[in-house]
Structure 1
Amino acid sequence: MMLFNLLGPLEVVTAERALPLGGVIQRATLGYLLLNPNKVVATSRLVKALWGDDAPMTSRKMVQNAVSGIRRLLEEPGAEVLGTRLATAPYGYQLHIDPDTVDAARFRRLAARGRGELAAGFPDLAVDTLAESLDLWRDSVLADLAETGITWPSFAQLERERLAAYEDWVTAGLELGRHHELVADLEEMAAAVPTRERICRHLMVALYRCGRQSEALVAYRRTRHALVEVHGLDPTRELQELERAILNHEPSLLGRQPQPA
Structure 2
Amino acid sequence: MDLKVLGGLAVHEGGVSISPPSAATRQVLALLVASADRVVPTCAMAEELWPEEVPENAGQILETHVRQLRATIGAALQTEGSVRTAEEVLAWVPGGYRLGTGGGSSDARVFERTAGAGYRAMETGDLDLASRRLREALDLWTAAPFAGVAQGPHLRSHAALLTGSWQRAVDRWIDVDFRLGRWRELCADLAQVLSRFPPPALPYVQLKADLDTKGHDPEVIRRHLHRRRNALSFTAHRIVMGRQGSRSTCGSDRALSLAAAHGIGALQRA
What range describes the TM-score normalised by the shorter chain of this pair? 0.5 to 0.7
The answer to whether the Cα contact below 8 Å between 2:48 and 2:153 also exists between their aligned partners in 1 is: no
Q: How does 1:14-53 map to 2 (within 5 A)?
A: 16=15, 18-53=17-52
- The alpha-carbon distance between structure 1 residues 78 and 32, as it changes in their structure 2 partners (threshold 3 A), is same
Match of 1:173 among 149, 169, 177: 177
- The alpha-carbon distance between structure 1 residues 110 and 66, as it changes in their structure 2 partners (threshold 3 A), is same
Q: Give me the whole-angstrom Cα distance separating, in 2, the residues matched to 1:210 and 1:82.
A: 55
Q: Deviations over 1:57-81 (max 9, x none)?
A: 2222222221222223333113859
The answer to whether the Cα contact below 8 Å between 1:25 and 1:62 also exists between their aligned partners in 2 is: no
Match of 2:110 among 106, 121, 127: 106
| Displacement after TM superposition at 1:28 (Å) | 0.8
Corresponding residue of 1:258: none
SS of residue matched to 1:73: helix
How many pairs were matched up? 215
Aligned letter for 1:62? Answer: I
The answer to whether the Cα contact below 8 Å between 2:3 and 2:10 also exists between their aligned partners in 1 is: yes
SS of residue matched to 1:101: coil
| Displacement after TM superposition at 1:124 (Å) | 1.6
| Displacement after TM superposition at 1:46 (Å) | 0.7
The answer on 1:78 being equivalent to 2:99 is: no
Greater relative contact order (Cα 8 A, min sep 6): structure 1 or 2? 2
Q: Give me the whole-angstrom Cα distance separating, in 1, the residues matched to 2:189 and 2:31.
A: 32
Q: Give me the whole-angstrom Cα distance separating, in 2, the residues matched to 1:59 and 1:184.
A: 50
With the length of structure 2 as denominator, give the TM-score of the two structures. Answer: 0.65
Q: Give me the whole-angstrom Cα distance separating, in 1, the residues matched to 2:40 and 2:184.
A: 48
The answer on 1:142 being equivalent to 2:152 is: no
The answer to whether the Cα contact below 8 Å between 1:49 and 1:152 also exists between their aligned partners in 2 is: no
- The alpha-carbon distance between structure 1 residues 93 and 160, as it changes in their structure 2 partners (threshold 3 A), is same
Bigger helix fraction: 2
Corresponding residue of 1:4: 3
Corresponding residue of 2:53: 54
Corresponding residue of 1:247: none
| Displacement after TM superposition at 1:186 (Å) | 5.4
SS of residue matched to 2:17: coil
- The alpha-carbon distance between structure 1 residues 23 and 163, as it changes in their structure 2 partners (threshold 3 A), is same
Q: Give me the whole-angstrom Cα distance separating, in 1, the residues matched to 2:218 and 2:150.
A: 42
SS of residue matched to 1:9: coil
The answer to whether the Cα contact below 8 Å between 1:40 and 1:93 also exists between their aligned partners in 2 is: yes
- The alpha-carbon distance between structure 1 residues 221 and 10, as it changes in their structure 2 partners (threshold 3 A), is closer
Aligned letter for 1:107? Answer: F
Q: Give me the whole-angstrom Cα distance separating, in 2, the residues matched to 1:105 and 1:157.
A: 13
SS of residue matched to 1:138: coil
Q: Give me the whole-angstrom Cα distance separating, in 2, the residues matched to 1:116 and 1:81.
A: 40
The answer on 1:124 being equivalent to 2:128 is: yes
Q: Give me the whole-angstrom Cα distance separating, in 2, the residues matched to 1:216 and 1:139.
A: 23
Q: Give me the whole-angstrom Cα distance separating, in 1, the residues matched to 2:93 and 2:46.
A: 16
SS of residue matched to 1:13: strand
SS of residue matched to 1:144: coil
The answer to whether the Cα contact below 8 Å between 1:103 and 1:136 also exists between their aligned partners in 2 is: yes
- The alpha-carbon distance between structure 1 residues 116 and 29, as it changes in their structure 2 partners (threshold 3 A), is same
Unaligned runs of at least 5 residues, structure 2: 235-270
- The alpha-carbon distance between structure 1 residues 222 and 91, as it changes in their structure 2 partners (threshold 3 A), is closer
| Displacement after TM superposition at 1:185 (Å) | 5.6
| Displacement after TM superposition at 1:148 (Å) | 8.8
State the superposition RMSD in angstroms: 3.8
Q: Deviations over 1:152-188 (max 9, x none)?
A: 2111110110111111222222233211112356589
SS of residue matched to 2:148: helix
Q: Give me the whole-angstrom Cα distance separating, in 1, the residues matched to 2:13 and 2:94.
A: 31
- The alpha-carbon distance between structure 1 residues 156 and 89, as it changes in their structure 2 partners (threshold 3 A), is same
Unaligned runs of at least 5 residues, structure 1: 232-261
